[in-house]
Chains A and B, each alone.
Chain A
Amino acid sequence: MISKQQPIVGTIRRTSARQRRTQLAGLLFVAPALCLVLLFFVIPLGMAFWMSLHNWPLLGKPRFIWFGNYVRLAQDAQFWTSLRFTVYYTLVVTVAIFAVAFPLALFAEKSRPLIKFYRTAFFLPVVVGFGSASLLWAWLLDVDSGLFSPAAYRLGLTDKQVNLLADFDTTFWSIVIMVVWKTAGFNMIILLTGLQGISTEVQEAARMDGASAWQRFRRITLPLMRRTIALALILSVAGSMLAFDQFYIIADGGPQNSTVTAVYWIFSQSFMSFHLGYGAALSMVLLAILVVISVVQLRLLRNPEGM
């Protein structure tokens, strides 16, 4: 008995030593990633909160002021205007993106001649950066050298070349159209994966039972795509809540600061006026809003398909 047990104990000890070694190896493999996330994400996150409790100028000593920045933020008219504008933009642009992307996905679903070409064409603006796309559209929207105003004038639609960026509504809708052009392809692909996940047998069976195309879409396609739609919706909402590039490059927040988004206001407070502490407090509020959206996202995604 005893003589037999001896080697077993030895084996256990050896495995545990080897286990410790592989444990260490595993940790070493993930260490570079962990260090980066710690240094450039976790620590900055903690710092952002700490800074939001200070009056923190770029130069000179930060002064601890408790929740002073948050009190100030509550009375900051431009902040609330920006937040309201960002929410308004998010709602409008998300509806607009879906109104374009869903028909595109339905169009691009079946494999037919040239479908790969059409899909690629719809998708190409997605891979171009928001910076490039904004510069491109800033030019298209220019009153003298651009495309839209001169074209409308020459076609006799307007009696002079209208500066589209001089008025809130035309600026806003121009940017909405630009963003739809830039992101519809992305949402088309996401929705396409959902569409292709629905078995053709279900659709076929419904067709046999005499369901119309609209009924099939309404009663089968939409419910079965709930998760995909939720994902596309959340990505679009989160992305739009953080909009900055297009409003900064095309409109410079104008006319009269009417298109300053939440991120734009944080940027301008932190890096143009150098109220770093106040900017951090604004960031914390935006962060809280985005986390709530993400939690809702996870809830929606986790729920079983059937409900």
Chain B
Amino acid sequence: MARSRKGETRRRLDILRYHGVGIVGAFLFLAPLAWSVLVSFKPSVEARQPPLPPWPTGGVSTQNYANLEQYGSGIWTYAGNSLAVSAWTVLASVLISLLAGYGFSRFRFPFKNVLFVLIISTVMIPFQSILTPLFLILTKLGLQNTLTGIVLVYVTLQLPFSIFMMRNAFDAVPKEIEDAARVDGASVFVVLYRIMLPLVLPGVVTVAIFAFLASWNEFLAALILLTDQNKYTLPVLMAAVRSGQFGTIDWGAVQAGVALMMAPCLVLFLLLQRHYIRGLTAGAVK
């Protein structure tokens, strides 16, 4: 009796300790995000004061968001740039890796393995070391300082991961499914689109999330390759605001910009968490 009560107390203490650690940890990781979002809804003057407390004390205001309109060509131009770059990067990454993944998984051709290893091994080369030549090549192609140029660079940087994911996805589909469709006389593209695509859709989603997050958040290449102010993506614009290129730093506006940049990433992750984590662990397990 006494022993079982002791065990019960110990179990309770254990649960208490578990949730104690969990809550403190969760607070530490979530607090900066929450602080920034809460402050972005303070009136501009209040946002200049230290965020103690972080929530707006004098009523909620969208003034900081409105103030973002003052920078350069206005925030919507830059949000539009970021959105266009991300959307095209996602589309192109999915399309190109879908084709390449299918090719590497289902066909035999000369140098297949060499080419596959070549593409995958580009992850070992840091893209930071080839930015100067990229700048010159894009200039030669007339794509320097264009959103198309930066999309092509982002897609290339995503390829090793995307193709690795898609080839694995196709490898997991039994060959018989495809053969049956082929016997019925369907063409390669019809088979790929109608039969294979639904089966590898989880892989496509994973490729799409990673392409979105990478292109939406990328900073260094955008900073170098987009030299015209009205071509900036959100991170480049906000870094310029923070460095004081537009006059005194308006911290309320900066946090509004940060909230604007974080929101799509957080929402997408929370919605598609499973697919994201699968992509993350694919490399770890292999």
Chain A interface residues toward B at CB < 8 A: 19, 22-30, 32-34, 36-37, 39-45, 47-48, 51, 104, 107, 112, 114-115, 117-118, 120-122, 124-125, 127-132, 134-140, 142, 144-147, 150-151, 154, 181, 184-186, 189-190, 193-194, 197, 228, 231, 238, 242, 244-245, 248-249, 252, 263, 266-267, 270-271, 276, 279-280, 283-284, 286-287, 290-291, 294
Q: Contact check: which of A114, A150, A181, A194 meets B29 at CB < 8 Å?
A: A181
> In the complex, A34 Cα to B99 Cα: how many Å?
11
Residue-wise interface mask of B (206-218) relative to A, using a CB-CB cutoff of 8 A (1 in contact, 0 not): 0000000100111
Q: Contact check: which of B29, B102, B132, B280 meets A280 at CB < 8 Å?
A: B132
Return A146 CB to nearest CB of chain B, in Å. Answer: 7
Return B250 CB to nearest CB of chain A, in Å. Answer: 10
Return A98 CB to nearest CB of chain B, in Å. Answer: 15
Return B71 CB to nearest CB of chain A, in Å. Answer: 13
| Secondary structure type dominating chain B contacts | helix
Give how many B residues have a beta carbon under 8 Å from the other chain's beta carbons: 89
| Secondary structure type dominating chain A contacts | helix
Residue-wise interface mask of B (157-180) relative to A, using a CB-CB cutoff of 8 A (1 in contact, 0 not): 001000100000000000000000
With known contacts A29-B100, A48-B132, A287-B126, A189–B277 Cβ distance under 8 A:
yes
Residue-wise interface mask of B (221-250) relative to A, using a CB-CB cutoff of 8 A (1 in contact, 0 not): 000100000000001001100110000000
With known contacts A30-B100, A135-B242, A193-B281, A118–B251 Cβ distance under 8 A:
no
Q: Which residue of B lies closest to A117 (CB)?
A: B26
* A151 lies within 8 A of B110 (CB): no
Q: Which 6 A-B pairs have the closest CB atoms?
A: A129-B217, A26-B107, A29-B103, A131-B235, A150-B50, A121-B26
Return B187 CB to nearest CB of chain A, in Å. Answer: 11
Other contacts beyond A25-B107, A129-B262: 5, CB < 8 A: A26-B103, A43-B133, A121-B30, A139-B251, A249-B239
**Chain B residues whose C-beta falls within 8 Å of the C-beta of A125 in the assembled complex:** 29, 32-33
12 residue pairs from A and B, CB less than 8 Å apart? A23-B108, A29-B104, A30-B99, A33-B119, A44-B133, A107-B21, A129-B216, A132-B235, A135-B239, A193-B281, A279-B132, A290-B125
Q: Which residue of B lies closest to A248 (CB)?
A: B239
**Chain B residues whose C-beta falls within 8 Å of the C-beta of A270 in the assembled complex:** 131-132
Q: Which residue of B lies closest to A121 (CB)?
A: B26
Query: Which of A34, A145, A231 gathers the greatest number of chain B CB atoms within 10 Å?
Result: A145
* A283 lies within 8 A of B132 (CB): yes
> In the complex, A132 Cα to B221 Cα: how many Å?
15
Return A34 CB to nearest CB of chain B, in Å. Answer: 6
Chain B interface residues toward A at CB < 8 A: 18-19, 21-22, 25-26, 28-30, 32-33, 35-36, 47-52, 95-97, 99-100, 102-104, 106-110, 112, 115, 118-119, 122, 124-126, 128-137, 152-153, 155-156, 159, 163, 188, 213, 216-220, 224, 235, 238-239, 242-243, 251, 254-255, 257-258, 261-262, 265-266, 268-270, 273, 276-277, 280-281, 283-285
With known contacts A44-B134, A242-B128, A30–B29 Cβ distance under 8 A:
no
Q: Contact check: which of B130, B163, B224, B262 meets A128 at CB < 8 Å?
A: B262
**Chain B residues whose C-beta falls within 8 Å of the C-beta of A194 in the assembled complex:** 284
> In the complex, A205 Cα to B133 Cα: how many Å?
58
Q: Contact check: which of B29, B132, B213 meets A122 at CB < 8 Å?
A: B29
Return A276 CB to nearest CB of chain B, in Å. Answer: 5
Return B44 CB to nearest CB of chain A, in Å. Answer: 12
Q: Which residue of B lies closest to A19 (CB)?
A: B108
* B33 lies within 8 A of A139 (CB): no
Q: Which residue of A lies closest to B123 (CB)?
A: A294
* A129 lies within 8 A of B261 (CB): yes
With known contacts A125-B32, A131-B239, A283-B128, A118–B26 Cβ distance under 8 A:
yes
> In the complex, A208 Cα to B260 Cα: how many Å?
54
Return B145 CB to nearest CB of chain A, in Å. Answer: 13
Q: Contact check: which of B108, B122, B219 meets A129 at CB < 8 Å?
A: B219
* B107 lies within 8 A of A135 (CB): no
